[in-house]
Amino acid sequence: MTRIWDAYLTEQDKAHLAASGERPPFGFGESPVVLSIDNYRAVVGDEPQPLLESIKTWPSSTGLAGWKALAQIEKLFARAREVGIPIVHITGLSPAESGVASWGRGRGVPGPKDAAALDREARRFDIVEQAAPLPGEAVLRKTAPSAFFGTPLMAHLNAIGADTLIVCGESTSGCVRASVVDARSYRFRVVVVEECVYDRHEACHAINLFDMNQKYADVLPLADVLAWMDKYAAAKRSTAA
């Protein structure tokens, strides 16, 4: 099967992979949770626009890559809710609200902001409609790249007995990767849904998917994850009967 990262691998990379073979998959466990990371307004803007156009008003935008992924995330959420898999939503917590200095330097042109820019800044961590939480779903806010750092995420996952995290969101090379590494460090099984993660840089997106698949997670197509969810639902019905 051709993978998104194949075009970025060198001949030596390919030779090494052929010589060393594939690692065994981590697989799914028995108690999955969908972890939705940073599907907020700042990374997609208010309407679909190409990246170089979108960053004129939303400097952290991922352009059309984000909108394309959100359409797939809607499918992931719908099936997860249908079969009873919890969804945990992660978004940012601004320094103005937390008093904690930002971990990043931010993007955009410094200087005075007009009313429209101030409005965008106030909405930047609002979770977008396509990935919005439903009442009762956990929503946690973070001040660092990883969803685990300085948040009660681990306590919540322990409380609900989770053993598998199905990850979506952005950015593949940043907050998604940081969260995946921490999740695997805590010995969760981790599945990254390929079409449901996104980044503003195509090469970084592809190679980080490759690297996570090599070390920390199973990077799977959405169709495979949805098929597994169907089997999960059938097994639950069988057990209940």
Query: Is 40 within 8 Å of 169 (Cβ atoms)?
Result: no
CA distance 164 to 174: 20
User: Which position among 168, 175, 196, 204 bears the catalytic label?
Assistant: 175
Q: Which amino acid is it at 34? A: V
Asked if 204 is an active-site residue, the reply is no
Partners of 115 in the β-ladder: none
Q: What is the largest CA-CA distance in the chain?
A: 64
Positions marked catalytic: 175
